[in-house]
Structures are given as C-alpha cells and as structure tokens.
Amino acid sequence: MRFLKLNIVVLFGVSALFLNSCSDFLEETSQDEIIPETLEDLSAVMYSEAYPYLFSGDIYLNLLTDEMVSNGLTSDSYQTNFENGMQIYMYTKTMFDGSYLIPTDANSWELYYKKIKGCNVVLDYLENITASEKDINSLKGQVLFLRGYYYFKLASIYCQPYSVNQINPDEALGLPLVLSMNVQDIFPKRTSLKATFDQIEADLKTSVTLLKENYTAPSPFRVGYLAAEAMLTRFYIYKNSKEDLQSIIDYSTDVISNKPSLTYLTSFKTTFHSKGIYDIDISNEPIWVYGTSSVRASNYWPLYPITNSKPPYSVSPLLTSLYDTEDLRNEAYFTKATNSGSKYNSVGNKIGLNNNQYGDRGIRNAEVYLNRAEAYCRLFLETGMEDYRANALQDLNTLRETRYETNTYTSVDIADGQTLLDFCLEERRRELCLEEGLRWGDIKRLNLGINHTFIDADGNSTDYTLAPGDLLYALPIPYNVMERNPELSQNPR
C-alpha cells in the first residue's frame, strides 16, 4: 500500500467498529491515519465519517423556542434533565461557558465540524482515486451535499440571520470555512456571513448537478439530487431574500413533480405513535433520513415519566392550541400523559417512540410543500398576481387534507395576502414543530421575540425574554472551542 502523509494536525477519529468492519481494505499507518486507495475504501470512509447516521447535533434548540415550557423540578429523578436545559431555556448569555457543564449534544460546533472534516477527507482523497468519472462524481455529489448541510446547520446556530435587522452580510460574522484537510493555518478565522452562505449555496447547487447526472440514491438513507434540491428550498427560505423566491419555487416544483406523495395520518393513527413520520415502513414522505431517536435519548426530557410528575420541560400549550379539534396532528405528533391529575404533552410521537431502525431527522415532502407555498404567498404580496395566491392555497390544502380524517377536510380560501402568509407560517408551525431546529430558524428570520417563564427547583417563577433581533440569535461558541483557537471571534452578547 502506498502511504500518504496527512498535512493536518488531526485527521479524524476512527471508532473500533469502523476499523473492524473495514480491516480487510484499510491499513492503519498510525493511531490517527488511514489511507484509502480505492473507490470502495473511500466509500466506506464517507459512510462512516461524512454521513451523519446515529447523530443529533441540535435537539436542544427546541428549548430556545416557544414550543417548550418549563415545569420546574417536580422529581429528583429529573435533576439531570432539569439542569441540562435550564441555562438554555433562560437565555443565559454564558450558557456555553466553562462555568456550566455543556451536554455533549449541545456542542454543535464540535459535532458538525467533525463531520465537515470527514467530508473534506473524502473530497481530498478523491483526487487520488482511479475510477470512472461517474463513480467519482457520485461520491463527490453526496459529500458536497453533506458539507453544505453541516455548514448550514452551523450558520443557523452561530450566525445572525442573513436578511434581518439591517444585518450587512458582507460585514457580519460567518463561519471558518475549512474546505480541505490539507490546511496550513491551524487557527482558521471566521469569514463573513455572505461568504458562508455563498459556500453553502455553491456546495448544494454543485451537488444537485453531480447527483442528478451520476447517482440514483438506492434508499432515503442516501442523498440523491432530490434531497439536494429540497435542502436548497430550506436554505433559500432561511436566507430570506426576495431574489430567491423563484428558486424556491423551481426547486420545490421539481421535487414535488418527482415525489408528490404525502402520508395520510388517518391511515396509521395507532401505528404512528410508535413509529413516526420518518419511518419509511409507514410514511412515504421522507426524502432523506438519518439520525437516532434523538428525542428518546434527549438530555433535557425523559422518554417516559419516571414518577407521577411532569418532566422539567414539555410541549407548550400555545403550540398545541394551534390545532383545531379535527386536526389529527394534535393527537399524532405528541405523547399525551396525565400525571398527578395534570395533563401535559411531551415530545415523542411525531418522530416515533420506538423508531430505532430508521432515524428521526432529515427532510421530507411536507416541508417542501410549505416552502413553495410560502414563496407563492410572498410573491402574491409583492405582485398581487392571482396565480400566486391560488398556487399557495393549493399547496397548503394539499398538505392539510392529509392531516384530517378521510373526506372530512374543508379547503381554506383566503383572499388577503398578509392573512394568507400568516396562515402559511402558522401551518408551518403545526407541521414542522420540534423538528430539525426549524422553529429556531423561523424565529430568527422572522425577527420574533419569545417570552419564557422558568420555574426553578423551589417552584419560583421568573420571566426571561428573547427580544426581536436579540444578540443571542447567534448563540455563543462553546468555551472549549474558543480556548483552542485564539483567532476565533466570539459572538457579541
């Protein structure tokens, strides 16, 4: 085997499981260096180090939104859950500083950059692999999608929104853009917000071209070009620029034309409670699926009540009040429990209580319908063209019909543009709640304020406010990351 010297301080961690499963074709040159020589070798690295799979990097974002409420410490059994979430829920500006123990899944910076490192390893080694252009481009397309996805996640957490509050993207802080494992500067600086978004867009758009021409995803566990197009609709929604509305429509239309299916909740109400909307055995909505049962394994709320007490954080009544009595999502998306005579809704049903097999994250058709509907609404407001209003209503009613008992849904018809947009955004809350950190992204791009009432261990209530345009729209970078990189600029707070 020909050995290559890696030109980076740390390559990537390799688990014992990965070494055992790949020992027939990967040699270990040191504790940290593995040299892939064939396309099969590099594919194995991609699946292990670039794809997310058993991974959850931002479940805590739910605690920042208006989708969760604090119940206090109602049982000593919940002590750890209570403490893990309290600084986040209270909008403490030092929530990720060294004075507090940061739950592992709340250090999104480390988690996503580790995956970006895996993407860059694959991209760099592709230059040395002998294989057909089609096979090389199929890997490149997948990895560019994944890198763009991870950078988008990081920007959604650690950057200010792109088009809100007089933000100048050319001057606002973006992310360190590490695009190769052969870096010379081991202390990368943050680029501008515009440079960050340009890189995300370039990765995702290039992945569309490469995947469409070279690769057919064999299952929703691999990313194909429809996943890349769907992710671009999410990217442009959060970029929140009028110039991108037609791109949202174009990409959404191609996705929906090729995969129009939505899952009728009435067809599996009972099964849904143990499976969820991302389980491909019962749901035909997923375009791309990954992850583990992140809600089940959450550091902030238990799967099942341990005692006859509410968990420290549960689903907000404000959220559940958005569903009318005939909307099946109110029953299907939340775990309902009654403890100590008090009813509450817990997180769980929507992505399944027992869905260990298929994951609980990714992107699905319902979001694409909503992204296109919102783009139509905004174009109707801007132009007054009736076709845009009709198209928005068609998308909204198509989705909503699948969330009611068969043959019981009455279509909505809204004439006023602002009322229609407001309804579309409310429908987005109903459908995409507690999923992928999307509500946190919506709060930022829509410049919303949030009021939280925190109940402490003694039962005392204190109000905390995230103001519109708050500096905490860009969360603090964790202290251990800041300590390792003296060139890194912390977010103002």
Phi-psi domain of 15 (left: phi exceeds 0; alpha: psi -120 through 50; beta: other): beta
CA 449 to chain centre: 21
Q: Would 457 be classed as within a structural domain?
A: yes
Q: 394 pLDDT exceeds 90?
A: yes
The SS3 assignment for 210 reads helix
In single-letter form, the type of residue at position 487 comes to E
Q: Which residues pair with 173 in a beta bridge?
A: 192
Residues 106-159: pLDDT tens digits? 899 999 999 999 999 999 999 899 999 999 999 999 999 999 999 999 999 999
What is the DSSP code string of 110-131?
Answer: HHHHHHHHHHHHHHHHHTT--S
Cα distance between residue 377 and residue 392, in whole Å? 6
Q: Would 231 be classed as within a structural domain?
A: no
Where does 53-92 show beta strands of DSSP type E? Answer: 68-70
Kind plus residue range of the DSSP H or E element containing 155: helix 133-158
3-state SS track over 372-419? HHHHHHHHHHHHCCHHHHHHHHHHHHHHHHCCCCCCCCCCCCCCCHHH
Give the model's pLDDT for residue 4.
35
Q: Would 349 be classed as within a structural domain?
A: yes
Whether 169 and 100 map to the same domain: the answer is yes
Q: Would 56 be classed as within a structural domain?
A: yes
Cα distance between residue 374 and residue 356, in whole Å? 33
Structurally, how many domains does the chain consist of? 2
Whether 105 and 147 map to the same domain: the answer is yes
Q: What is the mean pLDDT of residues 203-211?
A: 98
Q: Would 313 be classed as within a structural domain?
A: yes
Give the model's pLDDT for residue 188.
92
Q: 351 pLDDT exceeds 80?
A: no
The CATH number assigned to the domain holding 184 equals: 1.25.40.390
Contact between 437 and 431 under an 8 Å Cβ cutoff? The reply is: no
Kindly indicate the confidence band of residue 170, based on its pLDDT and cuts at 50, 70 and 90: very high
In single-letter form, the type of residue at position 185 comes to D
Give the model's pLDDT for residue 403.
95
Q: Would 322 be classed as within a structural domain?
A: yes
Whether 55 and 135 map to the same domain: the answer is yes
Domain range enclosing 28: 1-72+81-215+453-493
Of 430, 448, 466, the residue at which a domain comes to its end is 448
Contacts of 166-169 with C-beta under 8 Å, sequence gap 24+, read 167/193, 169/193, 169/194, 169/197
Comparing 277-286, 290-299, 433-442, the range with the smallest average pLDDT is 290-299
Kindly indicate the confidence band of residue 184, based on its pLDDT and cuts at 50, 70 and 90: low
Kindly indicate the confidence band of residue 280, based on its pLDDT and cuts at 50, 70 and 90: confident
Cα distance between residue 132 and residue 351, in whole Å? 39
* Percent of the chain with pLDDT strictly greater than 90: 68
What is the DSSP code string of 217-243?
Answer: -SSTTS--HHHHHHHHHHHHHHHT-GG
